[in-house]
Amino acid sequence: MWRLTHAAFLSAAVLGCAPGVPTLRSDAWFPSSDSTASRRPLDCSDLQPPAPAGSVGDPLDPGRGRALQQPTDLGAGPVRLVWSSTLSGIRLEWVGPAVLEARTLWLLRVGDSGRCVVCTWSSAQLGFQVVRHAFWNEGKLEIVLLGLGPPPRQGWMVLVTAGSQLWSGLDSTSRRPGALVAEQAEFRQEADRLRLVVLDGGRTGVLDFDGRHFGSRP
């Protein structure tokens, strides 16, 4: 039976990659072959902490509002680009350490001379196995579904961003992000609705997106 849980042990997403996955070059964030030519001032002032109310993400260094000139500024050793997206014309990158089952994720806003840290996510347990995406509200929201831990029954978490903050798409009665434990979960767009379909033990549950969270239908 699928269930919605506060699941402290699923309090955050983690990243993993197989050996040999390409890492970001030290000059990856400079469009010019001369790295100093692109080091114009990077304005991250609109992202200064604290994050807006309702945001999620564990405190990490470098954290929200920090300007990064090069991948080594993350202080995590070799890092990789997990995925990238564009919201309302703003380019975003999700970056994590290039190690097996890394436990840190940075959401970065792309600038022409570096990156700004929007939010961070980390965990001490459970590496992700599945990443799925959906875009909503005319491309103003990105919704990310993370499958955590090994099958057959995985933990599933939903992260939502509008480009300036990050919040949990599964609400809970506590301040910890909500999570699902099920065999499968997937996004399904039907007309003007975005749904999270959850399958477990031969049963199917459907959660509707209200523009901020997924929840049971009335």
β-pair partners for 146: 131, 157
Residue 122: pLDDT over 70: yes
- pLDDT for the residue numbered 11: 32
Highest mean pLDDT among 8-12, 65-69, 168-172, 184-188: 184-188
Output the pTM of the full model: 0.79
Residue 9 tokens, joined: 């042990």
- pLDDT for the residue numbered 123: 65
What mean pLDDT value characterizes the chain?
A: 78
Q: Residue 144's Cα: distance from chain center in Å?
A: 6
Long-range contacts of 71-75 (CB under 8 A, 24+ apart): 71/24, 71/25, 71/26, 71/28, 71/29, 71/95, 72/26, 73/114, 74/106
Out of 20-29, 40-49, 122-131, 152-161, least confident range = 122-131
Percent above pLDDT 90 for the chain: 29
Residue 46: pLDDT over 50: yes
Domain edges within the chain: 3-216
